[in-house]
Amino acid sequence: MQSNTSILKKIPPTPLSKPAKGAMGKTGTWRTLKPVIDLNKCTKCGLCWLYCPEATITFTKEEGPKIDYVYCKGCGICAEECPAKAIEMVREF
Amino acid sequence: MTILGLPEEEYVMSGNAACPGCGAILSLRHVLKALGKKTVLVIPACCTAVIQGLYPRSGIGVPVLNMAFEATGAAASGVVAALKARGKKDITVVGWAGDGGTADIGIQALSGAAERKTDFIYICYDNEAYMNTGIQRSGATPYGAITTTTPILGKKEHKKDMPMIMAAHHIPYVATATPGYPKDLYEKVRRAKEMKGEGTRYIHILSPCPPGWRYDSKLTIKMSKLAVETGLWILYEIDHGKFKLSGPSKRFLDPSKRKPVEEYLKLQGRFRGLTDKDIEEIQRWVDENWKNIAKMIETE
């Protein structure tokens, strides 16, 4: 009984969701093709960062783009839009 | 920090429920970059209501009020009034709805809010059908598109011109955009944000949808750019009644610069039933739209 009330206290008064990564779980598992960046070919233009719908690509001018494979859904937009063709879609399974 | 002139901060969280290659979530990502943290979104039943993911997490980094399908304009009016009553002046209220929730079901609430000069931004992301419920025809579905409610012959009517309907409300700002040109989209949302206090601002975003339009998810940006290059989607803004073509669309005022509409249509499975006559009809419609645009520029 006591444990029940402590659980109830933890629930917010309204059903309020808080912003967090992975609201739908680890969406990287949806992927069949995985984007792999060849940093030797990469010109660090930032277009993959610009067009990633999921914001899974982080970009710095020094290190170039980095993909978060936990959440990347493998849509292939980055590979299609890369002007240097530095991103290849590789079959995962 | 900015990258390519856009802020680095992300308000769209990775791992949300959007389909791979979703044009709507890409648009929302750039819209929220332009609006910043002090934003309240009002979202009716639409894809983005699903994209937020499951309780207790939310895939969107700003407060969201989920509302009934027809009530975006009315609920946003309520939020604006509540913020005013509490003396909060630095928060932007944004209605974010799909084309069904704007052109069909939500039009009366939106029209009412615009008529009352409610101080908010209304953004319609237009994926040209009720995608979230399984691709049913909407008022914004283009001519010839096959949907689950127009299954064999495709839709026989043209797309409703929603931005011009909103322009007829004489609101301070109306603009069209598409995620293939993120900088253009970003600038337009910034402009709408700057006009806080002047009334309703309306932005219409053409947002490609891989499962609904039946194309490979990697082609989202290509579809978005082709829609502009063929002249099917015209990027413009109407700032205090003054019409202006936006950068990417300017050169397509000359018909010879426009690509034939087939290039856009043949890439999408929803247009697989088109006959040559249908394609001619779509081309005629595009040319006529541009003639109207040319007339509007001349009269200014």
Return the CATH architecture of domain A19-91: 2-Layer Sandwich (3.30)
Closest-CA distance of chain B to residue A46, Å: 7
Which residues on A lie below 8 Å from B53 (Cβ)? 17, 23-24
DSSP three-state, residue B141: coil
pLDDT tens for each residue of B113-163: 999 999 999 999 999 999 999 999 999 999 999 999 999 889 999 999 999
Residue-level pLDDT at A61: 87
Residues 6+ apart with CB under 8 A from B156: B143, B150
Which residues on B lie below 8 Å from A56 (Cβ)? 14
Category of B58 on φ-ψ map: left (φ > 0), alpha (ψ -120 to 50) or beta: beta
Residue-level pLDDT at A6: 73
pLDDT tens for each residue of B191-241: 999 999 899 999 999 999 999 999 999 999 999 999 999 999 999 999 999
CA distances from B219 to A80, B132, B216 (A): 7, 20, 6
Instruction: Round the average pLDDT of chain B to a whole number and report it.
Output: 93
Residue B124: both structure tokens together: 């319609």
pLDDT tens for each residue of A13-37: 777 888 989 888 899 999 999 999 9
- Please state the CATH superfamily assignment of the domain spanning residues B11-299 in this structure: Thiamin diphosphate (ThDP)-binding fold, Pyr/PP domains (3.40.50.970)
Residue ranges per structural domain of chain A: 19-91
- Chain B residue whose CA is closest to A64: B3
What type of residue sits at position B73? Answer: G
Residue-level pLDDT at A2: 52
Q: How many CB pairs under 8 A join A and B?
A: 118
The residues that bridge with B240 in the sheet, in sequence order, are none
Interface with B, mutate which of A17, A18, A82, A88 (most B CBs under 10 A): A17
Residue-level pLDDT at B133: 92
Q: What is the pLDDT averaged over residues B274-294?
A: 93
Beta carbons of A49 and A65 less than 8 angstroms apart: yes
Strands B64-66 and B121-126: unpaired
Closest CA to A37 of A4, A1, A72, A11: A72
pLDDT tens for each residue of A60-76: 888 899 999 999 999 99
Beta carbons of B109 and B122 less than 8 angstroms apart: no
Phi then psi dihedrals of residue B122, to 5 deg:
-110, 125
Beta carbons of B144 and B282 less than 8 angstroms apart: yes
The residues that bridge with B201 in the sheet, in sequence order, are B121, B173
Residues 6+ apart with CB under 8 A from B247: B181, B184, B235
Lowest mean pLDDT among A6-10, B81-85, B158-162: A6-10
Query: Which of A23, A70, A73 is opposite residue B58, by nearest beta carbon?
Result: A23
8 Å CB contact of B221 and A75: no
Residue B1 has pLDDT above 70, yes or no: no
Residue-level pLDDT at A16: 83
pLDDT tens for each residue of B91-104: 999 999 999 999 99
Q: Measured between alpha carbons, how far apart are the two ends of chain B, in Å?
A: 40
Residue A1 — pLDDT band, cuts 50, 70, 90?
Answer: very low
